[in-house]
């Protein structure tokens, strides 16, 4: 394991030994995680911050970068040093620091409700692929430190790495990191109207503009208007990106 691992990738500082594995709130959580990974297209992993390794890595190929799950688990955090594009290595260290500082400001009893999201380039067969990675705590230590967390990896809907955000379950609030001013900004998630959601649902089902217009009793030009407004609101350039955006952000 590399010397730099201890201070890398949302790594928690030294803490007293966590509770016995057998005392976990859900003793079959790895089986549940495995079932989840089979049901979704995204890659899933579990990080143990005390042992500084991957406790679980799914067979979904996006995160594996050509390796098997067991090979990724064996590499541990060294996986990131090997497969994160060099230009994003410093960014990942920064995300580690920013995430740790943010979670330290949250009351311990609320930390499991927050999810960190960011985009990085992973090297797969020497090709850089921009992925979105979300991390949410699974278990905390007795001191309230993050012990284990689940990560979910999907293709990014953005064009550049970064895009660091933190959201809280059950609210429309989210925080995004302003890299220009080096500060977190609190905003509300995008809100879609019922008509905008109708348009997106029908697009997701493969309907054409004319068919969507028939379904909701408007003209094709009106559908094009809704689509253009959706693109502006989400800052995307096509319907595929829009559908990915609403999926990743739980808007639909």
Q: What contacts 101, CB < 8 A, 6 or more positions away?
A: none
Secondary structure class of 87 (helix, strand, coil): helix
Alpha carbons 117 and 162: distance in angstroms, whole number: 9
pTM listed for this prediction: 0.78
Domains contained in the chain, CATH given:
3-188 (3.30.450.20), 194-248 (1.10.10.10)
* H/E run at residue 37: helix 29-39
Find the mean pLDDT for residues 125-134: 92
- In this prediction, residue 241 carries a pLDDT of 83
Mean pLDDT of the chain: 86
- Lowest-confidence range among 37-41, 75-79, 133-137, 172-176? 172-176
Using the predicted structure, report yes or no on whether residue 14 has a pLDDT greater than 50.
no
Find the mean pLDDT for residues 7-30: 58
The model's confidence at residue 16, banded by pLDDT at 50, 70 and 90, is low
CA-CA-CA-CA dihedral for 61, 34, 247, 238, to nearest 10: 10
Q: Cα dihedral sign for 237, 133, 127, 161?
A: positive
Alpha carbons 240 and 248: distance in angstroms, whole number: 12
């Amino acid at each position: 394991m590399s010397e730099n691992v201890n201070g890398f990738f949302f790594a928690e500082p030294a803490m007293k030994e966590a509770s016995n594995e057998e005392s976990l709130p859900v003793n079959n959580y790895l089986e549940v995680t495995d079932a989840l990974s089979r049901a979704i297209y995204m890659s899933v992993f579990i990080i143990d911050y005390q042992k500084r390794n991957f406790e679980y890595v799914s067979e979904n190929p996006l995160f594996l970068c050509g390796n098997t799950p067991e090979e990724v688990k064996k590499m541990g955090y060294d996986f990131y040093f090997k497969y994160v594009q060099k230009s994003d290595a410093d960014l990942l260290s920064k995300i580690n620091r920013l995430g740790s500082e943010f979670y330290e400001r949250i009351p311990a009893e609320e930390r499991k409700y927050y999810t960190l999201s960011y985009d990085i380039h992973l090297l797969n067969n020497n090709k850089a692929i921009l992925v979105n990675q979300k991390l949410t705590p699974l278990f905390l230590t007795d001191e309230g430190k993050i012990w284990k967390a689940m990560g979910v990896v999907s293709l990014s809907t953005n064009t550049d790495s970064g895009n660091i955000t933190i959201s809280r379950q059950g609210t429309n609030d989210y925080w995004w990191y302003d890299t220009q001013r080096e500060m977190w900004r609190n905003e509300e998630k995008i809100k879609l109207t019922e008509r905008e959601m109708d348009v997106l649902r029908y697009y997701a089902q493969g309907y054409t503009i004319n068919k969507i217009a028939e379904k909701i009793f408007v003209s094709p030009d009106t559908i094009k208007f809704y689509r253009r407004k959706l693109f502006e609101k989400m800052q995307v350039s096509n319907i595929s990106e829009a559908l990915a955006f609403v999926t990743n952000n739980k808007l639909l």
